[in-house]
Amino acid sequence: MSISIVLLPCTGRIEEAVLLRAFEKGADGVMVIGCLEGDCHYVNGNIRARARVGRVAGILETIGFGPERVRMYNLSAGEGAAFARFTGEFVDQVQTLGPSPINLARGQQNQESTEEVAAT
Amino acid sequence: MITGTPKPIEEILEMIEPYEKIIVAGCFGCVTVCRVGGEKEVQVLASTLRLAREAGGRPLEIREVCLERQCDPEYLDPMRPYVEDYQAVLSIACGAGIQFMAEKFARTPLLPGINTGFLGVTERQGEWAERCQGCGDCVLHLTGGICPVTRCAKSLFHGPCGGSVGGICEVSRDVPCGWQLIIDRLKALDQLENYGKLKPYKGWSSARDGGPRRIIREDMI
């Protein structure tokens, strides 16, 4: 499973729409990694991000994608080992869940088009 | 401001089920302030609907727009060149905006994405409360700035009813008695004499009881 890292100055910049857009673009899961709570350079960016991640999880649950596909972690910039551990943990979680419903639908559609081409 | 709450996604998905190409239209007015129908909510709703529909095997094409106001004709006009290229408009403005758009775009179905609430205020982030019912005959100068029509569950005009106990309305433990609030405030302002100045009766013809209302300002026409 491949991972794309998107750098932002603060998790407070992350709107719900940005997270949902990642799923539209084909992500099977999105993890948001912010600074430790209480350590935000912009005071409460990571607190806002946590609330937004929670709302997106609710939306994903409503539309049948599952709330586990999005998750917030908090780390300090010096915790490289914890970053690797959390990433591995999240990747395992997403792999257990499998492809997102939108990727399944796209995969099925591609298979059907391939079959149609093969039949002609 | 006019407040509202989002409709459940399931209900919206059912509403848009027949369509494959729609506009999701927000409004930069009241519904932006109460975080239910502004530009951000357009983006989130559009993304949610696209995800749900494509996952179900029926992709949905959405044009996302947010108008300055949906209740003024000049802001609806820019949609005119393209609105008929779409099968429906899902509006997350208030009921007034949605209806006005329906009047202006007669051949396009209009769908409501929110449930319009009331004229209210932001008491704290995420919590809004009703303050005005637009009765058309304001008496706030006599009632310490607290509206008996709105804050009293029965819209009484001459003091609290027998259901007021310890400052709480019988309707709910979460609802303060409007008349208790009025009397406390008049006392604090040393204006209790205003209590006796209230009209002998209130004419409701300027309220909703007279049917849909219209304001005509000759000086502005």
Closest listed residue to residue A68, CA positions, set A83, A82, A57, A81? A57
- Domain residue limits, chain B: 2-118, 137-206
DSSP B197: G
Of the partner residues A15, A17, A101, the one whose CB lies closest to the CB of residue B55: A101
Q: What is the pLDDT of residues B40-69, one digit of tens each?
A: 999 999 999 999 999 999 999 999 999 999
Q: So what's the pLDDT on residue B94?
A: 98
* Contact at CB, B43 and A102, closer than 8 angstroms: no
Question: How far is the alpha carbon of A119 from chain B, nearest alpha carbon, in Å?
Answer: 22
Q: So what's the pLDDT on residue B209?
A: 81
Closest listed residue to residue A102, CA positions, set A43, A29, A34? A29
| Spatial separation of the C-alpha atoms in residues B16 and B20, rounded to whole Å | 8
Q: What is the pLDDT of residues A17-65, one digit of tens each?
A: 999 999 999 999 999 999 999 989 999 999 999 999 999 999 999 999 9
- Residue the block writes with tokens 């990727």: A103
| Spatial separation of the C-alpha atoms in residues B40 and B52, rounded to whole Å | 18
Note the CATH architecture for domain B2-118.
Answer: 3-Layer(aba) Sandwich (3.40)
* Contact at CB, B40 and A16, closer than 8 angstroms: yes
